[in-house]
A and B are shown apart, each in its own frame.
Chain A
């Protein structure tokens, strides 16, 4: 649960950092760190306007979207903590929970009967279909390397899997960052700041949402960012702090050692989230959006990279262990 709580904490400043970095990169002063949340709170206070074409599915979609992301957050691993909710194969549930949210989200967009929103729904369905294999191959690679199937065990055993865990980790972080960008409909595939509905994905799907429902969706989107950020942070948090504590000459009861380690990991977790947010802001400032027609190729490339990583790990582990 530590990971979940920390992720929720980091969600508070996450969207603000992205905005701030983007505004600084483009030479503006930019709004305060908390501005995105202030906007969401404002939305929570507002009433809603519904299209007459919509049905209960339109109203159900934001709730399910938010609920699935909250559920997935509970699966977030954190080193050194015994995972209460994790289990063997929890990443499968993780991916399919997000898929449930996406299905309802797509249907909510189709419910309005707008051609623009249909377009967005279609793109979202296609991109998420193409992204999922990359995530599963990546987790397959990590599972093979660590010999475990729950995210908690994968990450805690991953760091001891040998020197090549470094290179696998680098590839994994790259892939997770890209997957997070696609899943959140950000820069290389979609630009939230674009002005033309024809070229949007995420923003066009929520055109008809307003007030509380829009607030749910934006909350969900922010949480989705820290969800992936939390996974990335797990690559940076050491499981074993003995070397550090010995050099710092801290000798205490196992409980204090454990608390110290958790505290340090918590700080690293928050720092990684902040760095991830800053990286997104920088990427969005200096990277152009791809042509829509090129997006599928780009997304399939991720699966290919993951596949190469898998075969690499397979060869390395088999040759080195035998």
Chain B
């Protein structure tokens, strides 16, 4: 199978470049579907496997035989080993689904570019998209360090190409280069980490990590991997590429990047965690503290943004924080030999990976539709879109409710698992751990509240009220092909919310096989609670329907009147008097001023201004991390500028440098320093 599939996929991707324009989209769609199906089958078999929460997994002979299915591709230069175990299989399924919905969405979204872009650019775009998919699958299945790093690099380059789709915009170009540079900094961390592994064990591979970790101090190498993978995942303070790159990319690409590509960083951290042998407690603490900060600051920054895609990008950072909190809880659980915390933490974290890939891609597609119809992403210029784009509005609201972790949708399920884990952890360790866990619960609730704040703002300002600017809304550009993938995602979101156990059971089995928290039985896992939650989901849906029906019945024979919004006695209100995104964020920005550091330029009306004239207010939000990173790069720029004096362009100077270098080597050898 693999001898056929891998050359077929690679060859197929190159054919995109020559397929005529008329068939290009369908060809790529078929190719992506083909790749997804072929990889999903072994992944699904592996993932669903033989797990049962109530049953005893460890004694099951089938799970051992299914532990990992390996594809070996033999080429002229050697062989590539693709191993699918439970962890990879979960991420493969998540990746395939989102890449597929992104592909479906791209058809309608890219249509508008057909006049301005030439066919070669389209071919290159779909080619890169296919390669992003292939490289992500390779990242998930390759264990050997060198080939893993090559796949990792391919992923960075193909996503770089995808961001560059609108390369004629200067800002896009700058963002893309910034992205590429930051990805390579992450790459360096990973390279060093792998080299250390090789130096210790003679083998540069994930499989060599357990051996390395069993006779070294664990925390150091873990931190190196964490930094390398964390840049991709967007943990603070490594997140600065994210809010720039997501808005610059086309929406289906942002959806895939935010939904699954950054999760490759999470996969990497999980992969390393499965090999950790000691230092669990410290690792857990590091993960918890970094993640709590990431979550809180991420969502706080998102409340201050005006660009709808930047709001989503910062909320991605927040969700990475939530995922990290689950990993931290799981690690602490391993350290304390507390299977409950391990299972709840890791399961909640992995389920949130799936959940976030769903609602974030849904929201990015929705924001893409808004951009397509209005040609702006600035929420201050939008308003009242619910009337012209009702389907997009409904789906965006659905996604917002899911991302705010509101029942009966999927976000609530994963956060519920984490909450229960942290509440149970309150009495699991010593006093300090209790206080830390309480502070984590505090940050989780704050994150929840801020998410509601941020998304009621994003949705309310851009979709509700009256249009703030006279924009011609091209509602006919939002075709059925753009709505369909969103509906598909919404369906899965509701499915997870109403039938959580169907999805959680295999994930818990994954945690069981990868982290061996001990016997996984019904008592450990809140099965009853999850069943009750689905029951409440049904009750809620029924109640809402019943009340709406009652309302319809009551209003049936009554004359309903329509009029302008009540202006409190003032009848000449204009749309400019509506609350804006900035004013909605106003009171929160005041509270969070030390973090947000908004700059406000406004000259108040002075006492001697008899005739008021035009005034403007300008409020700018900056990311303190980008700012400090900017300072760092400025500093290194200064140093490098001084060093650049060595580069004289004079060949004689370069010969002199070589001579000095040789002399230095001789001198060091003579002094026995090297």
Question: Could you list which residues of chain A lie within 8 angstroms of chain B, going by C-beta atoms?
Answer: 44, 46-57, 59-60, 62-64, 66-68, 70-71, 74, 85-90, 92-93, 95-97, 99-100, 102-103, 106-107, 110-119, 121-123, 125-126, 128-130, 132-133, 135-137, 139-140, 143-144, 147, 149, 197, 207-208, 211-213, 216, 296, 303, 307, 310-311, 314-315, 318
Contacts and interface: CB of A to CB of B under 8 A. Distances in A.
B559 interface: yes
Interface stretch (B152-160, B459-467, B603-611): B459-467
Given A71-B536, A89-B420, A130 B449 contact: yes
A122 B457 CA distance: 8
Contacts of B149: none
A301 to B, nearest CB: 14
Contacts of B426: 140, 143-144
B405 interface: yes
Given A47-B561, A51-B565, A216-B551, A129 B456 contact: no
A216 B544 CA distance: 12
Given A60-B548, A114-B566, A136 B456 contact: no
A44 B547 CA distance: 13
Contact of B591 (A87, A89, A97, A296): A296
Contacts of A56: 386, 390, 394
B453 A113 contact: no
A47 B528 contact: no
A318 B559 CA distance: 66
Given A85-B532, A96-B406, A113-B575, A314 B561 contact: no
Contacts of B544: 60, 63-64, 67
B321 interface: no
Given A89-B416, A96-B412, A128-B452, A50 B560 contact: yes
28 contacts: A51-B565, A60-B544, A66-B547, A87-B526, A87-B528, A88-B420, A88-B526, A92-B416, A92-B419, A93-B536, A96-B412, A97-B540, A100-B406, A107-B459, A114-B565, A114-B566, A114-B567, A115-B573, A118-B465, A118-B578, A122-B586, A125-B456, A128-B449, A129-B453, A144-B427, A207-B568, A296-B587, A303-B442
B163 interface: no
B577 interface: yes
Contacts of A117: 565
B438 A310 contact: yes
A147 B424 CA distance: 9
Interface string B564-593: 111110000101011100011011100100
Contacts of A119: 579
Interface of B: 383-384, 386-387, 390, 393-394, 397, 400-401, 404-407, 412, 416, 419-420, 423-424, 426-427, 431, 434-435, 438, 441-442, 444-446, 448-450, 452-453, 455-457, 459-461, 464-466, 526, 528-529, 532-533, 535-536, 539-540, 543-544, 547-548, 551, 554-555, 558-568, 573, 575, 577-579, 583-584, 586-588, 591
B420 A92 contact: yes
Contacts of B588: 126, 129
Given A216-B551, A314-B434, A114 B423 contact: no
Contacts, number: 252
Listed residue (A60, A71, A216) with the most chain B CB atoms within 10 angstroms of its CB: A71
Listed residue (A90, A115, A136) with the most chain B CB atoms within 10 angstroms of its CB: A115
| CB-CB nearest 9 A-B residue pairs | A118-B579, A129-B449, A113-B465, A110-B460, A47-B558, A67-B543, A51-B565, A63-B547, A87-B529
Contacts of B559: 47
A180 to B, nearest CB: 17
B390 to A, nearest CB: 7
Contacts of A90: 529, 532
Contact of A212 (B445, B555, B561, B578): B555
A175 to B, nearest CB: 14
A106 B584 CA distance: 11
Given A133-B442, A144-B426, A97 B547 contact: no
Contacts of A139: 423
A67 B537 CA distance: 11
A212 B464 CA distance: 22
B522 to A, nearest CB: 12
Contacts of B412: 93, 96
A238 B583 CA distance: 49
Nearest to B454: A125
Given A67-B544, A102-B452, A140 B579 contact: no
Contacts of A149: 420, 423-424
Given A44-B554, A207-B568, 10 more contacts: A50-B562, A67-B543, A67-B547, A87-B528, A93-B536, A111-B460, A117-B565, A122-B587, A212-B551, A216-B547
Contacts of A97: 407, 536, 540
Listed residue (A44, A129, A137) with the most chain B CB atoms within 10 angstroms of its CB: A129
Given A49-B562, A110-B465, A132-B448, A103 B404 contact: yes
A55 B387 contact: yes
B404 A49 contact: no
Given A51-B563, A99-B406, A136 B431 contact: no
Contacts of B568: 116, 197, 207
Nearest to B405: A96
A92 B568 CA distance: 38
Contacts of B431: 314-315, 318
Contacts of A128: 449, 452
Contact of B390 (A55, A70, A129, A303): A55
Contacts of B457: 125
Given A87-B526, A99-B404, A122-B586, A113 B384 contact: yes
A51 B407 contact: no
Given A87-B526, A144-B434, A57 B386 contact: yes
A121 B420 contact: no
A181 B400 CA distance: 28
A116 B567 CA distance: 8
Contacts of B548: 60, 63
Given A112-B465, A123-B587, A140 B401 contact: no
A115 B453 CA distance: 17
B401 A49 contact: no
A126 B586 CA distance: 10
B456 A74 contact: no
Contacts of A57: 386, 393, 397, 464
A197 B390 CA distance: 30
A121 B533 CA distance: 28
B565 A147 contact: no
A96 B446 CA distance: 12
Contacts of A216: 547, 551
A141 to B, nearest CB: 8
Contacts of A107: 397, 456, 459-460, 464
Given A47-B560, A106-B456, A212-B555, A140 B448 contact: no
Contacts of B453: 125-126, 129
Nearest to A196: B568
Contacts of B464: 55, 57, 107, 110-111, 113
Given A53-B565, A103-B452, A103-B456, A115 B577 contact: yes
Contacts of B449: 99, 128-130, 132-133
A126 B450 CA distance: 8
Nearest to A215: B554
Nearest to A297: B591
Given A107-B397, A107-B459, A212-B551, A89 B419 contact: yes
Listed residue (B400, B543, B565) with the most chain A CB atoms within 10 angstroms of its CB: B565
B384 A53 contact: yes
A213 B551 CA distance: 8
Nearest to B567: A114
